[in-house]
Every structure is written in structure tokens, then in C-alpha cells.
Amino acid sequence: MRILTDIPDEDIRKLDALAAQLKKSRAATIRDAVALYLVQNDTGNDWIQRYAGLWKDRTDIPDGVDYQRAMREDRRPYEDT
């Protein structure tokens, strides 16, 4: 569905800058913003639903399974105990 809305020029400039940074279209950026707004303001969702996937695009956080395997490398195998 299409909608028509008035957005201040300054907000459009910021939106376009963000869209360029994210390598997305203005429309895709607006859709993402609306979806995020609806999730954040839906009082029926619990915190797990609201924050699931929050860090999915972070590259500075290592993979959890790789971290667990690295932590366990120094342990003796269960057969040796």
C-alpha cells in the first residue's frame, strides 16, 4: 500500500544520508523505520520479541559457538575423567 505524508526537509536530508550510508533506498529506509517504530511501541510484545536479532548485523561480536569451542579447548575429554 502506498501512503502520502509530509516530512520536513531537514528530516529528508538526514534520511537520505542514512539511506546512502546503509546502501538502501529512501523507501526501504522508511519501511525499516516504520517497522522498528511499531515493534518498539507494541506493548503486547515481550522483551525477547522486541530485541531478537538486535545485534545480527554486528561484526565486532564473535560467533557464540566459536567462543564456546575456544573456551572448551583446554578441557580434558570426558572419557579421561
Instruction: Determine the pLDDT at residue 54.
Output: 85
Residue 3: inside a domain, yes or no? Answer: no
Instruction: Determine the pLDDT at residue 45.
Output: 60
Residue 25: inside a domain, yes or no? Answer: yes
Residue 1: inside a domain, yes or no? Answer: no
Residue 58: inside a domain, yes or no? Answer: yes
Residue 2: inside a domain, yes or no? Answer: no
Residue 45: inside a domain, yes or no? Answer: yes
**Number of separate domains in the chain:** 1
The model's pLDDT over 13-24, given as tens digits with 9 standing for 90+, comes to 999 999 999 999
Higher pLDDT, 10 or 74: 10
Residue 81: inside a domain, yes or no? Answer: no
Instruction: Determine the pLDDT at residue 78.
Output: 67
Domain residue limits at 22: 9-76
Instruction: Determine the pLDDT at residue 5.
Output: 92
The model's pLDDT over 26-72, given as tens digits with 9 standing for 90+, comes to 999 999 999 999 878 876 767 777 788 888 888 888 888 888 888 88
Which H, E and C letters describe 16-68, residue by residue?
A: HHHHHHHCCCHHHHHHHHHHHHHHHCCCCCCHHHHHCCCCCCCCCCCCHHHHH
Residue 46: inside a domain, yes or no? Answer: yes
